[in-house]
Amino acid sequence: MRRRRKISKLWIVLLVVGALAAGYFALDNAIRPTILSLSEARLRAIAVKAMNDAVRETVGSDVGYLDLIDIEKDEHGKIVLISSNAVKMNQLAASTAIAAQDKILNLGDQGIDIPIGTILGGPLLTGRGPQVNIKFEPVGSVSTDFKTEFRDAGINQTRHKVYLVFDASVRILIGNAPQTVDISTQVLISDTIIIGEVPHNYFMGTQDQLMNLLPNEE
């Protein structure tokens, strides 16, 4: 009789443990997509802000258009060459990439707080309840590149914009199945009107390279 009771208790314990485990996995499967979706949306906003802050703090007011771009003219004042200051631009790209990387790393340690009510859904629960803290970390290094854009701005005027483009991969740390999010953004670092005659085919469309040789039309 005692043996049967022990076996019965063991089965009860196993059933309870099994039910709890099944409930846990069911709940995890139900709310994980919501957590990932909310985390990704907030993570993108946080990472983009970190990149913008890195540019503002690194570039500030110390870097001007002529620090990045060289404009050469002939004896008649006609633009014959616009080229990038490769050394200065490489230094700027490297320093802002490191600054952005550090900011994302520090923010990842703080994590993202999401209310339980928001995860469960429903207008009455959104923003309510205790916070669930989701950690994240950068994957590899933040990479940077430059993008330039030339537009006709009127008679003998060309608008030249220079952007710093960031690309980063960030891993959301959730249980045993972390998810990697790829984030890309561009930050305007220079917007200048170039005064002078420029060949027509120069400013038509967007140029993706910062080195542009301008034909000297006779």
| Tens-place pLDDT, residues 159-188 | 888 888 999 888 888 777 778 888 888 888
Q: What's the DSSP call for residue 176?
A: T
Is this structure's pTM higher than 0.75? no
Read off the tokens for 61: 């007011």
Cβ neighbours around 188 below 10 Å, total: 13
Residue 146's nearest CA partner among 218, 63, 72 is: 63
User: Two tokens at 41?
Assistant: 């949306």
Q: Average pLDDT, whole number, for the chain?
A: 74
Helix (H) / strand (E) element for 41: namely helix 2-59
Per residue in 138-158, pLDDT tens?
887 888 888 888 787 777 778
Q: How confident is the model at residue 189 (pLDDT cuts 50, 70, 90)?
A: confident
Section 13-22 average pLDDT: 68
Q: Which residue has the higher pLDDT, 134 or 30?
A: 134
> For residue range 195-211, what is the model confidence (pLDDT) as tens digits?
776 554 443 333 344 43
Taking the CA atoms of residue 29, residue 31, residue 34 and residue 38 in that order, the dihedral angle to the nearest 10 degrees is -120
For 66-120, how does the pLDDT look when each residue is reduced to its tens digit (9 = 90+)?
A: 777 877 777 777 777 777 777 888 888 888 888 888 888 888 888 888 887 777 7
**pLDDT for the residue 145:** 86
* Predicted local distance difference test score (pLDDT) of residue 109: 80
